Amino acid sequence: MASGYRPASRHVLRFFRWYIRRHLRRHFAGVLLLGDLPELSEDRPAVVFSAHPSWWDPLVFMFLHEAAFGWRAQAGPIDAGQLAKFPIFGKLGLFGIEPGTTAGARDFLRCSREHFRQKGAVLWVTPQGRFADVRERPLGLAGGVEMLARREPEAVLVPLALEYCFWNERLPYVLAHFGEPVEASGMEAGLEAAMDRLAAAAQRRDEGAFRCLLRGKSGTGGVYDLRRGE
């Protein structure tokens, strides 16, 4: 059963942001950004859309939202069944939909447009609608976001590339890159371009090419770290 939209609770969101930073520090060597954070007018709503490579994506979205947009209203769709199991997500701005159904598409449009009534609201979505490898082409984006953009022409569409990479540390890095805003008809091409740029940078394994947004645990662990003290 889908849920209606309700704005995120600032009190719950404040605690959850603290928790996310702590959780990311524990499980990753760092969160690294290629390029700049988007600078978007607070007078226009925005849709940040990404592929869906990992279970970590929603937590990374929330971390990046804080880094890029501060306390601008945030929201995103989630499977209605998952929201029923974890109702706390509703207090974080997530609204339930039934993926792959006409009713789900209708609920997505309705809730997203309600969210956009708040000044400068930002919507975070994974329009593939499923987990997918970052090397998969074509991306096969569903049409819901494009339909939303045509009904809300003021909305700015921003592609986001994400990767989770092991380099020289025991723990992986979160790599992120925001592409240039695109028109509704150019969503797939814009996201693919952003993903290709991030993939090329990831293959070079040069942390200096990135801006560190969050530093996590370092070291290789075990006997390897013992040798660092010699």
The CA-atom distances, in angstroms, between 210 and each of 12, 31, 33, 205 are 31, 9, 5, 10
2 within 8 A of 104, measured Cβ to Cβ: yes
pLDDT in tens, 106-133: 999 999 999 999 999 999 999 988 889 9
CATH number of the domain at 10-228, out of 3.40.1130.10, 3.40.50.410, 3.40.50.300, 2.60.320.10? 3.40.1130.10
Question: Can you say whether the dihedral through the CA atoms of 9, 15, 21, 22 is positive or negative?
Answer: negative
CB within 8 Å of 188: residues ≥ 6 apart:
138, 139, 141
Q: Report pLDDT for 88.
A: 86
Hey, where are the domains in the chain? Answer: 10-228
Counting as low any pLDDT under 70, the low residues of the chain are 1-3, 219-230
Contact 62, 20 (CB under 8 A): yes
Instruction: Classify residue 120 by burial, with Cβ atoms within 10 Å: 0-12, 13-18, 19+.
Output: middle
